[in-house]
């Protein structure tokens, strides 16, 4: 692979994606067992998908801060939430709203990892290596999703939801440790636009895209 730092990014992303896939499927299964309700499964899936819609709110903050530190922070935050989920499941807490809320926050942190990594890749590789780097990252994104989405059901039946969540916590420990080992001197960013202007421009672009979709 391209260089040692980029290898750490790809490895961390692959392990992190495995963790994402495992706990999302495990929590859907758990909510189904807890409530026996299709409505709650729908709410859980909304909580999983909705954070992706909110990412435009964080673009300016990502630009202003160290990408490596942000990446470590969002993965560590997911680890903390998974540990809380382990405690709740172990204590047999039967309040589905708490689980949905925690999954929403975890999904938000997980979604933030993707734009952070996309901005980090050009800092780790040479310009003529970007195409290959993006291909490697795509394999890390999609490959682990496919594999662990397929394996999660088997793992749940073998280890129970609690056992799978413990395995999941271990994947986030590995991810955090791997991302912390990335060595990078990030350039200082000079920002001339106000945050409000940035958000307004993003909102306008989102609305324009929505209008085009409705028209065509």
**DSSP for 113-157?**
HHHHHHHHHHHHS-GGGHHHHHHHHHHHHHHHHHHHHHHHHHHHH
pLDDT-based confidence at residue 210 (cuts at 50, 70, 90): very low
Q: Is the pLDDT of residue 118 over 50?
A: yes
Q: Is the pLDDT of residue 208 over 50?
A: yes
pLDDT-based confidence at residue 205 (cuts at 50, 70, 90): low
Burial class (CB in 10 A: 0-12, 13-18, 19+), 189: exposed
- 191 and 64 Cβ atoms separated by less than 8 Å: yes
pLDDT at 151: 77
The stretch 139-143 carries a mean pLDDT of 77
Q: Is the pLDDT of residue 215 over 70?
A: no
Degrees (nearest 5) of the Cα angle 159, 164, 165?
Answer: 145
pLDDT-based confidence at residue 211 (cuts at 50, 70, 90): very low
The stretch 62-78 carries a mean pLDDT of 88
Cα 133 to Cα 101: distance, rounded to the nearest angstrom: 35
* Residue 131, CA atoms < 13 Å, CB-side half-sphere: 1
**What does the block give as tokens for 161?**
């939801």
- 75 and 179 Cβ atoms separated by less than 8 Å: yes
- 78 and 12 Cβ atoms separated by less than 8 Å: no
pLDDT-based confidence at residue 158 (cuts at 50, 70, 90): confident
Of 35-39, 85-89, 108-112, 200-204, minimum mean pLDDT range: 200-204
The stretch 144-161 carries a mean pLDDT of 78
pLDDT-based confidence at residue 74 (cuts at 50, 70, 90): very high
The enclosing H or E element of 85 equals helix 67-90
Q: Which residue has the tokens 């662990």?
A: 148
Percent of the chain with pLDDT over 90: 31
Q: What is the DSSP letter of 194?
A: -
Q: Is the dihedral of CA 140, 145, 146, 148 positive or negative?
A: positive
Degrees (nearest 5) of the Cα angle 40, 42, 44?
Answer: 70
CA distances 175 to 59, 69, 73, 151, 179, Å, are 23, 13, 11, 19, 6
């Amino acid at each position: 692979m391209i260089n040692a730092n980029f290898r750490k990014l790809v490895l961390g992303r692959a392990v992190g994606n495995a963790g994402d896939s495992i706990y999302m499927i495990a929590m859907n299964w758990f909510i189904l067992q807890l409530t026996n309700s299709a409505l709650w499964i729908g709410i859980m899936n909304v909580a999983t998908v909705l954070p992706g819609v909110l990412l435009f709110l964080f673009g300016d903050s990502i630009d202003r801060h160290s990408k490596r530190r942000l990446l470590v922070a969002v993965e560590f935050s997911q680890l903390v939430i998974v540990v809380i989920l382990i405690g709740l499941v172990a204590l047999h807490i039967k309040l589905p709203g708490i689980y949905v809320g925690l999954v929403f926050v975890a999904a938000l942190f997980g979604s933030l990892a993707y734009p952070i990594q996309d901005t980090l890749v050009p800092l780790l590789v040479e310009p003529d290596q970007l195409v290959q780097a993006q291909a490697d990252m795509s394999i890390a994104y999609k490959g682990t999703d496919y594999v662990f989405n397929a394996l999660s059901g088997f793992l749940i039946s073998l280890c129970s939801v609690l056992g799978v969540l413990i395995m999941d916590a271990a994947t986030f420990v590995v991810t955090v440790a791997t991302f912390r080992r990335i060595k990078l001197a990030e350039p200082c960013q000079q920002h001339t636009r106000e945050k409000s202007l940035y958000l307004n421009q993003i909102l306008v672009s989102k609305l324009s895209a929505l209008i085009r979709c409705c028209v065509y």
